[in-house]
Amino acid sequence: MSENKSLLKLKAITKVFSKGTIDEVTALDGVNLDVNNGDYIVIIGSNGAGKTTLLNVIAGVYPPESGEIILNGRDITGMCEYRCANSVGRVYQDPHVGTAAKMSLEENMAMAVLRGQVRGLRAATNKQRRELFRAALAPLGLGLEERLSALVGTLSGGQRQALALVMATVSKPAILLLDEHIATLDPRTAKTVLDLTDMIVTREKMTTLMVTHNMELALKYGNRLIMMHKGRTVVDMNEEQKANLAINDLVVAFERAAGEQLTDESILLGHH
């Protein structure tokens, strides 16, 4: 596939929670997004902007109220989560979500490598697959490839998140969704996992949507930056536009686009 070919298209996606009640929330309000093959998009926005809802809709966790999702020219609107998962890899904020604690590393990896394949009555792990697992885990530099039979519950949060990252990418899904995947890690571990992410995404030229709370990261990583506010995309910058940007410029751009003051401190500070 050539670069700059459209991979994922969102057309006027709307998602409303608790419809018809006093708690009604419009989480996505007509989102249009065109993701090109090989894009590394960073999505920022304050709490409740709709970032996670956007990823959930793409991953098929729930269907949108209206709009269309086209992946690789195929309409996947309303397709359920496990079917979407054949072409979507995902790392969650909580390391516990992406990995199974009571199973060994190799069993977790065996679940991950079969993404998109029919599961049958062959042995889940064998010598050949173990080699594959080792090769996938070794570049992390965490020594996980030597601990294939260890239970995942014995790993640290950072190690589990690194494993979750490998599990989400090892079968080379069409698109990778990162949902604030370093937010709960301590600063040093967060940097390690972020570097690993960058290494894998760059190496595999993987189309990626990364949600973050952190403006500094948003400027440093990716070839495109999207800012969401109240269920809409309010800023969309390409690599050149964001190249010489400082955090303050981003705040100004946001305020101009959203028409209001940015008050969420965590997003302003941009640091841990």
Interacting residue ranges for another protein, rule: CB under 8 A: 59, 81-83, 85-86, 89-90, 92, 96-103, 107-108, 110-112, 114-117, 119-125, 167-168
Nearer to another protein, 115 or 242 (CB): 115
Residue 54 Cβ vs another protein, minimum distance, rounded to whole Å? 17
Residue with smaller CB distance to another protein, 117 or 128: 117
| Residue 253 exposure: Cα atoms within 13 Å on the Cβ side | 20
Tokens of residue 150, six digits: 């260890």
For tokens 């670069």, the residue is: 3
> For another protein, which is the closer residue by CB, 91 or 215?
91
Amino acid at 198: D
Q: What is the distance between the alpha carbons of residues 243 and 237, in angstroms, rounded to a whole number? A: 10
Shortest Å distance, C-beta 184 to another protein: 16
Q: Cβ 234 to another protein, closest distance in Å?
A: 29
Report the interhelical angle of 105-113 vs 127-137 (nearest 10°): 90
| Residues in Cβ contact with 137 at an 8 Å cutoff, skipping those fewer than 6 apart | 105, 109, 144, 145, 163, 166
Give me the least distance between CB of 231 and another protein, in Å please.
Answer: 24
Instruction: Give min distance, CB of 36 to another protein, in A.
Output: 24
What's the CA gap between 247 and 12, in Å, rounded? 29
C-beta of 44 vs 176, nearer to another protein: 176
Q: Work out how close the CB of 43 gets to another protein at its nearest, in angstroms, rounded to a whole number.
A: 19
Whichever of 25 and 114 has its CB closer to another protein, that residue is: 114
Task: With H, G, I as helix, E, B as strand and everything else as coil, classify residue 31.
Answer: strand
DSSP state of 73: T
Quick check: 49 and 218 in contact, CB under 8 A?
no
Q: Closest CB to another protein among 170 and 267?
A: 170
Q: Are 9 and 188 in contact (CB under 8 A)?
A: no
